[in-house]
Amino acid sequence: MAQTQQEFAIEIRDLHKSFGEGRYHVYSGLDVKIPKGLITFILGPSGVGKSVLLKHTLGLLKPDRGDILIFGRAIPYDKPRELNEMRKHFGMLFQYAALFDDFTVFQNVAFPLVEHRKDITLDEIKKKVVDKLRAVGLDPENTLDKYPSELSGGMKKRVGLARAIVLEPQILLYDEPTTGLDPVTRAMVDDLILETNAKFGLTSVVISHDILSALYSADQIGFLHGGKIVFWGTPKEFTQCNHEVVRNFLDAEMKHRKELEQ
Ligand SMILES: Nc1ncnc2c1ncn2[C@@H]1O[C@H](COP(=O)(O)OP(=O)(O)O)[C@@H](O)[C@H]1O
Ligand SMILES: [Mg+2]
Residue 2 located in a structural domain? yes
Report the CATH number at residue 206.
3.40.50.300
Please tell me whether residues 161 and 186 are part of one structural domain: no
Q: How does pLDDT run across 76-95, given as a tens digit for each residue?
A: 999 999 999 999 899 999 87
Q: 48: Cβ below 6 Å to ligand 1? A: yes
Print the domain residue range for 106: 98-168
- Shared-domain flag, residues 7 and 132: no
Using pLDDT thresholds of 50, 70 and 90, give the confidence band for residue 104: very high
Looking at ligand 1, which atom is closest to the CA of residue 20? Answer: 4
The H-or-E segment that residue 100 falls in is: none
CA dihedral 30, 34, 35, 37 (to 10 degrees): 180
Output the pLDDT for position 4.
54
Domain boundary among 150, 168, 186: 168
Q: Which atom of ligand 1 is nearest to the CA of 175?
A: 23
Whether residue 140 is predicted with pLDDT greater than 50 in this model: the reply is: yes
Residue 3 has what pLDDT?
Answer: 47
173 and 83 in a common domain: yes
Counts of helices then strands in the chain (DSSP H, E)? 10, 10
pLDDT tens digits along 28-64:
999 999 999 999 999 998 899 999 999 999 999 999 9
Q: Which residue's alpha carbon is nearest to atom 14 within ligand 1?
A: 49
- Strands, E, within the chain: which ranges? 8-19, 24-35, 39-43, 65-70, 73-74, 90-93, 171-175, 203-208, 220-225, 228-233
Nearest residue (by CA) to ligand 1, atom 24, is 47
Task: Give the residue-averaged pLDDT of 119-143.
Answer: 95
Residue-wise DSSP of 136-199: TT--HHHHTT--GGGS-HHHHHHHHHHHHHTT--SEEEEESTTTT--HHHHHHHHHHHHHHHHH
Q: Which residue has the higher pLDDT, 117 or 192?
A: 192
For 149: left if phi > 0, alpha if psi spans -120 to 50, otherwise beta; the answer is alpha
Instruction: Decide: 56 in ligand 1 pocket, CB within 6 A.
Output: no
Domain match, 83 and 106 both: no
